[in-house]
Structure formats: C-alpha cells, structure tokens
Amino acid sequence: MTAAVLPARTPLAGVGLYLVAVTLVVAANTVGKLTMFGLPVPQVVLAQVSGLFFASMLAGRTLRIDRLLATRKPGLQLLRTGCQMGAALCFYMGLRAMPLADITGITLLLPLAITALAALTLHEQVGWRRWCACAVGLVGALLIARPGFAGAQPAALWPLATVVLFACYTVLTRRLSQEDSTPTLMIWASLATVTLLGLAAPLYWIWPTPQGWAGLAAVCLFSGVANSARIKALGLAPASLLAPFGYTQIATATLVGLLVFGDLPDTLSWAGIGVIVGSGLYVWQRERRKERQA
C-alpha cells in the first residue's frame, strides 16, 4: 500500500511547493521594485540571493559551507551559479524599467525555452509542433516588447536575457538534483552572486533608510523561500507537470501591479501574454500526452 501511495503524493507535493514558489516570486519582485527606487540594482540582487545562501545553511542544518559545497559535478555547478547570477542581474535591470505584468509576461517564455534547450542539450525528442509553439511564444514576447514600433520597450531585452539564462539554470538544476542534495544546490546557486557582489559592494553600496533595510530583508526572505521551494519541487515532480502552474504568476503580477504601481498591460501586451500562455499550455499538453504514451 505504501509503495502505491507514494508515487501519487510526490508530484502533488511538488505542485504545492511550486505554487508557493511562484507566489513568493511575485512578492519578492514587488518589494524589489519598490526598494530599487532608492537603491542600486546590485544591492537588491545581493539581498535576493543572500536569502538563498542563508536558506541553504538552514536546510542543511550546518554552518560548514565546505560540507554543503561537496559535489561530484563542480564544473556544472559553477556554470549553473553563473547562469543564476546573470539571470538575477538581468531581471532586476528590466524590473526597474518595465511594468510588473509586462516583465512577468515575458518571463513566462521560460517553459518554452526549457523545452528548446532540453532538446538541444539533453537530446530530448521535440517534434515540429512543439518547435512551432516555441516560435509562436517568441512572437508573443515581441508583441510585449514591440521592437522598432511606437511604444517599444527596449528594456524588454533584459527579461529575454533572463529567460535564456534561467532556462540554462533550470535544466542544470534538474540534472544535478538527481545527484546532489537540495542544500547543496541552493548554496551553489547563490555562490557566485554573493561572492562577487559582496566583494564589489564598496563600489555601489548606498546606506539604506529603515524602509530600505526592511525592503532588502523582505526580498531576502521571500527569495530564499521561493528558490528553496522551486528546487525541491523540481526534485519531486517533472518539469512538464509543473510548467502550467507557473502561469498563475501572471494573474498575481497583474493584480499586484495594478494595486501597487497603477500599471495595467495595454492591448498588445495582453495579446502577447495570451500568446505566450497559450503556447506554453500547448507544449505542456504535448508533454503530458507523450508521458501517457510512454
């Protein structure tokens, strides 16, 4: 009986953790956008990744960083932590300049990017229909960014770079989660950012106000819990199952953007968001059909 129940419970737990993660991501982004009105981007990014760094020691129940860093794949871990640092910097650069719903809509390309990247690097079978869905999703992102047209958002290049880098990070996380523990994955994910931005802090640091300190602390907390939940979710359930639940983020981000910043996507942005979500759900449906046929 136990053997029959556990396989059904594990994916469900992964879905629950993933929903917690995407909700806290919106909370961290909202506070981060507010905090960046008075502080430089690297300072907010350092706070965000510090949450993951401290959470890794809490999850591992040790202050011995050397024990948490133990891995059989140090090269892949270094590549992964570099991708995470680049994705965080690019995202917050875009977040400073773009409405919350618009940047969230573009980052919804992530499941499509993961599909394409898995096909190219892990040699997973991806048919022409899913390749077309990935291309259509990119068109949706262009509807939001509108390069070369009136109302263009040049800052949209930042979230597009975020998608590429975070797709690399996610594929590497999925691969390494089969060998390394969650605390190990967490501390490696934050290592490059904490080290490099920590050493460079004298070059950009601005002493925060009490409200600034509260904002940085909130970003640190929300990001730490969100990243921990995401990493654990990827270890409990396949990415193809979790992907559609990530689209709840656009509804939350739109509502928060309207209530906190007074931003609401225009018609073309809504069209782009719809195209991206539709393409992603199509890829998810194809993945689920493929799993049932296997």
258's tokens: 């309207």
Asked if pLDDT for residue 236 goes beyond 70, the answer is yes
Each residue's pLDDT tens digit, 112-137: 787 778 777 766 666 667 677 777 77
User: Which positions ≥6 away from 68 have C-beta within 8 Å?
Assistant: 56, 57, 60, 62, 183, 184, 187
Each residue's pLDDT tens digit, 1-54: 334 443 444 677 888 888 899 899 889 999 999 988 889 999 999 988 888 788
Each residue's pLDDT tens digit, 275-288: 877 877 777 676 66
Angstrom CA distances, 184 to 96, 198, 219, 232, stand at 31, 20, 22, 12
Q: State the DSSP string of 161-189.
A: HHHHHHHHHHHHHHHHTTTS-HHHHHHHH
Question: Quick one: pLDDT at residue 4?
Answer: 40
Q: What is the mean pLDDT of the chain?
A: 80
Dist. CA 62–CA 247, nearest whole Å: 35
